[in-house]
Structure 1
Amino acid sequence: MKNVFKSTLIICLTLISLFINAQKRKNMENTALLIIDVQNDYFKGGNMPLVGAEEAGKNTQKVLEYFRKNNLPVINIKHIATNDGATFFLPDTKGAEINSLVEPKNGEKVMVKHYPNSFRETELLAYLQSKQIKNLVITGMMTDVCVESTTRAAFDLGFTNTIIGDATATRDREVNGQVVKAAEVQRSFLAGISALGNLYAQIVNTNDFLNGK
């Protein structure tokens, strides 16, 4: 009798798990992952290392694995600097290569941009529309430059955005001779972009996103 009860319990738990996973998958319909500028120059030894790049990269990797496992669209954005005086993401350099943590595979889409806004002079909008994407999960670097500008542009274009906050990173800034620490820059920009009831984007952390919260 105990064995029958145990077997029944296992079956029930399995069915519940399948139902939950199916619901999660349904909730992710018309959703794509956007990985912005997770490139070598932003990591230790690069020409523009960020604070917390490694942690943000690893969290992006976790989100990427979720999208791959569920066969959901993934788009890697790669910045190549073409402006005069640029010191990082230079053409044909190792620093401009996508970091190994999120290296594209299996035909995953890679788009090159030359401006902070990933939609500017790229095929991103046309590609998303061709795939009937309405929702974007956004990760990458830098939080207050390319991530923010892309997110705000995406909102203006009609997309619903979720930023994985701990899968983004930036660096110390300076204004009027005062240093603003990266952690403060990070908090401020994420707070601003999620103001007014998550107007531009909802901010979640990696674990909550992976657990469906």
Structure 2
Amino acid sequence: MENTALIIIDLQNDYFGSIKDAKWPLYKTEEAAENTLKILTKAREKNLKIVHVRHEFQGDNPPFFAPNTKGSTIHESLTPKENESQVLKNGVNAFLNTDLKAILDESNITNVIIVGAMSYMCIDAVTRAASDYGYNCFLAHDACATSNIEFNGVKVEAKLAHATIMAALSFAYANVQTSEEILKQI
């Protein structure tokens, strides 16, 4: 894929159950990180544009991703290299009030590969926004993690929440594939 960027969303320590004192462990974060690393490694080999997005909550007593904490740090397995772009966001959508679009446009990016967390929040938001901006979106569903959710007394298991979002995004916003399928295209 020419003119392609890999966008890694919020794979930070607070989401990893394997990290001591993680504030918000997700379902299958470690598996998502392993698959992300495979894609990241190939993207580095092919000299693709790589953008690491990191979330920090503002205000007092954030639930997780507090500024200047171990929990808000990108997981060590995915540590950005010097030549890779980094974006700090304070909200759900990685394009909102950040320079993500400018970074992509400066490199004439037309295709984005999206991975990270949480499926039903930041992954959903960035995928829809990227599609609305005209980028061709490729989403590695097995390189994304999420959590259980509840609405109006209805509890939804993480795997069902994840599947629902992936199905919705595949309908009109992204080419949703496995990591292996995406690796073959890079």
Q: TM-score, normalised by structure 1?
A: 0.83
Structure 2 residues not aligned, in runs of 5+: none
Q: Quote how far apart the aligned CAs of 1:176 are.
A: 1.8
Q: Quote how far apart the aligned CAs of 1:105 are.
A: 1.2
Give the aligned partner of residue 179 of structure 2.
Answer: 206
**Root mean square deviation, CA, Å:** 1.2
Instruction: Work out the CA distance in 2 between the residues paired with 1:83 and 1:189.
Output: 29
Q: What residue identity is the alignment partner of 2:98?
A: T
Q: What residue identity is the alignment partner of 2:145?
A: A
Task: Look up the SS of the partner of 1:56 in the other structure.
Answer: helix
Q: For structure 1, which segment, 99-108 or 30-39, has the greater mean C-alpha deviation from structure 2 after superposition?
A: 99-108
Candidates 136, 139, 146, aligned match of 2:115: 139
Task: Look up the SS of the partner of 1:211 in the other structure.
Answer: helix
Q: What residue identity is the alignment partner of 1:176?
A: N
Task: Look up the SS of the partner of 2:53 in the other structure.
Answer: strand
Q: Where do residues 79-98 of structure 1 align in structure 2 (5 Å cutoff)?
A: 79-98=55-74
2:12 counterpart of 1:39: yes
Higher relative contact order (CA 8 A, sep 6+): 2
Moved over 2 A (4+): none
2:102 counterpart of 1:126: yes
Taking only the aligned residue pairs, the percentage that are identical comes to 39
Give the aligned partner of residue 6 of structure 1.
Answer: none
Instruction: Work out the CA distance in 2 between the residues paired with 1:123 and 1:140.
Output: 19
Give the aligned partner of residue 24 of structure 1.
Answer: none
Instruction: Work out the CA distance in 2 between the residues paired with 1:81 and 1:62.
Output: 28
Bigger Rg, structure 1 or 2: 1
Q: Quote how far apart the aligned CAs of 1:212 are.
A: 3.1
Q: Quote how far apart the aligned CAs of 1:83 are.
A: 4.2
Candidates 128, 145, 148, aligned match of 1:152: 128
Q: TM-score, normalised by structure 2?
A: 0.95
Instruction: Work out the CA distance in 2 between the residues paired with 1:130 and 1:205.
Output: 28
2:115 counterpart of 1:167: no
Instruction: Work out the CA distance in 2 between the residues paired with 1:84 and 1:164.
Output: 34
Task: Look up the SS of the partner of 2:185 in the other structure.
Answer: coil
Aligned length: 183
2:24 counterpart of 1:48: yes
Q: Residue deviations 1:110-140, cap 9 Å, x none?
A: 1100111000000111111111001100000
Q: Quote how far apart the aligned CAs of 1:85 are.
A: 4.5
Q: What residue identity is the alignment partner of 1:35?
A: I
Instruction: Work out the CA distance in 1 between the residues paired with 2:107 and 2:60.
Output: 35
Which has the larger helix fraction? Answer: 1
